[in-house]
Structure 1
Amino acid sequence: MKVSTILSFSALFMASIASAAAPDLANKIDTCVKPGVVALTFDDGPGIYTEQLLTILDKHKVKATFFVLGIAMASNATFPAVLKKVYDQGHQVASHTFNHNPLDQMTVDVMKKEITDNSNAIFNAIGVRPLYMRAPQGACEALCTKTMEEMNQVVSHWNVDSFDWKNRDLPDPVGLSMTQFNDFIVKNGNVATDSFITLQHDIHQFSVEKLTDQVITAVKAKGFRFVTMEECIGKPAYEGVAMKPTGTDGAKPTSPSDNKGATPTGGASMTQVGAWAMGIVALASTLVL
């Protein structure tokens, strides 16, 4: 075997170890602080399918988290009322910025304006300000993360992407998206050790009308319990509002002043462990060859 090939495999191995061992940025959340729970989250709304989604969630008695856009509410005079219905029905409302532009390409002042403008739009609709945010495309590197921490925001990521945004125009988009939930949660998820934050979009019709029902049914059958991001992370959802009592855990309310970056407990995620294992296999292959 060529030396360059061996080095290539060795690089893969080292990268895999780094992926498994390296912690997330301090305030970037992609797992919950306790096992056995799934935070169902939806981005880019409110939209024309959001009220239909509320009906589906109510049927299953599931509470979700909605990362919403100020520009979406500005685009339709009825959407602030839709967001109020989301909030009134007990779902968590969080920020996805105002304009959905890449935060890492902004100055600190522009980043802050994106969050502040969206906070104002959300406050005007529901009367409270969110303390959770998700960056567009999930991209929030060191400067962005530091800025969000200064603004008391929990940077919320995910570890199961439905890819509904990519699958929506393909044949059998529901089947393609369900593959993600099946692979990560239904087949390989362990209620005793794992937790998940999922990503869907309530602006895609198939994701609301067909995918959500299947996801909830499959995940519940596996034994996981659905929670909001507030319960997932154990920090308040809104400025000046104490945490709601949780399902069976009775997590104690905390004050908004405590809402600094939280690093979930637990070992490496299933994806990280998988990357590590792939690296070991790659290195073993070089030794055999």
Structure 2
Amino acid sequence: MLTETVLPWLLLVSSAAAYPAPNPVQFLKRAPDAGVVIQKCANPGVLALAYDDGPYQYTSQLVDILDRGGAKATFFWTGTLYGCIYNQAAAVRKTFASGHQIASHSWSHGYMGSMSESQIRSEMTRLEDALVNLIGKKPAYMRPPYLQTSGVFLPTMRAMGYKVITNDVDSGDWNNQSPQQSQQAFQRAGTHGNGHISLMHETYASTVNTLTPWLINWAKQNNLRLVTVAECLNDADGMYQPGNFTGNGRNYC
């Protein structure tokens, strides 16, 4: 009876040893798919700083703060939310030259979950045109305004090759949260497990001048690297859509 009980168990152990379980991290070493909502990083030890709604009057100052702190970030930009993107051409080019990720937040920051496919495509291609004119690149990442992903939005993003990013830490700056309250949101999220993707806005002076320097110091104290969203998803080389693009000079502002 003992032999009948133990032998199958021994065979199972032997089989498991011959075919060891794969390292779970290996499952994360894959670039994210287009048209799939992504909320969290694929790696531990990182924090993806992500700012919405620019470019704006604080963009250049924010880039200086990040660069001094050795931090990289992702900028989800619009075309017309805070004035025409072409009026911030110097800040756009400075951000790109500093190695930060430039991504799409649509042209006009509308409710894309209720738009038709043609309307969504227009929102995306207008910003693509502007970025190609300014930096020669089409973004491969986007964050939907108001985090809306309903209707035909996701299938359209899939067809256009866009990786869709939301967040798992909300600074609440858009909801009148103070920098101190925002800090608490990051502290609650913690530093263990896979890294976090933040929701912040470069259009608030307090986020640029108070929250961001605090995050740089907090990350250093906790051995976190501040990276772009693409890097935190093991896709640092995939920040932009492949191809050589020539600006067409179109200005939809």
Which residue pairs with 2:182 in the alignment? 177
User: C-alpha separation between the residues in 1 aligned to 2:224 and 2:212?
Assistant: 15
Deviations, residues 82-133 of structure 1 (Å, cap 9, x unaligned): 1111000000000000000010110111011101111111111111100000
Equivalent residues, number: 209
1:142 Cα shift? 5.5
Deviations 1:24-62 (A, max 9, x none): x96111111222211100000010011110111011010
Alignment-mate amino acid for residue 56 of structure 2? G
The unaligned stretches of length 5 or more in structure 2 are 1-33, 244-253
1:128 partnered with 2:133: no
Match of 1:67, SS state, is strand
Matched position secondary structure for 1:32: strand
Q: Aligned partners of 1:155 and 1:76: how far apart in 2?
A: 22
Aligned residues of 1:167 and 1:177 also touching (Cα < 8 A): no
Query: In 1, are the aligned partners of 2:85 and 2:130 still within 8 Å (CA)?
Result: no
State the 1:66 CA deviation.
0.2
Q: Which residue does 1:36 correspond to in 2? A: 45
Residue identity (%): 34
Q: Pairwise CA RMSD of aligned residues? A: 1.9
When normalised by structure 1's length, the TM-score is 0.69
- Summarize deviations over 1:236-283 as a string: whole Å, max 9, x none: 011117xxxxxxxxxxxxxxxxxxxxxxxxxxxxxxxxxxxxxxxxxx
More divergent stretch after superposition (49-58 vs 216-225): 216-225
Q: How far is 1:220 from its partner? A: 2.4
Is residue 169 of structure 2 the alignment partner of residue 164 of structure 1? no
Alpha-carbon separation, structure 1, partners of 2:38 and 2:170: 14
Give the equivalent residue in structure 1 for 2:117.
Answer: 108
Higher-Rg member (1/2): 2
1:73–1:80 Cα contact (<8 Å) kept? no
Kept in 2, the 8 Å contact 1:70–1:122? The answer is: no
For 1:78 and 1:99, how far apart are their aligned partners in 2?
15
Kept in 1: contact 2:50–2:199 (CA 8 A): yes
1:54 to 39, 63, 69: 63
SS for the counterpart of 2:80 is helix
- Residues 107 and 126 of structure 2 are in contact (CA less than 8 Å); yes or no, is this contact kept in structure 1? yes
- What's the counterpart of residue 240 of structure 1? 242
Q: Which runs of 5+ in 1 are unaligned?
A: 1-24, 242-289
Q: Secondary structure of the residue that 1:97 maps to in structure 2?
A: coil
Q: Deviations over 1:158-207 (max 9, x none)?
A: 10010111126xxxx1111111111112xxx31xx221001111111111
**In the alignment, which residue of structure 1 is the partner of 2:16?**
none
Which structure's residues are more often strand, by fraction? 2
Does 1:86 find its partner at 2:95? yes
Contact 1:72 1:79 in 2 (8 A): no
* Alpha-carbon separation, structure 2, partners of 1:196 and 1:36: 9
Does 2:159 correspond to 1:150? Answer: yes
1:196 aligns to what? 196
Q: Greater CA deviation, 110-119 or 66-75?
A: 66-75
Deviates further, 133-142 or 86-95: 133-142
Q: Report the Cα offset of residue 138 of structure 1.
A: 1.0
State the alpha-carbon separation in 2 of the partners of residues 26 and 89 from structure 1: 28
User: Structure 2 length normalisation: TM-score?
Assistant: 0.78
**Distance in structure 2 (CA, Å) of the matches to 1:35 and 1:109:** 38
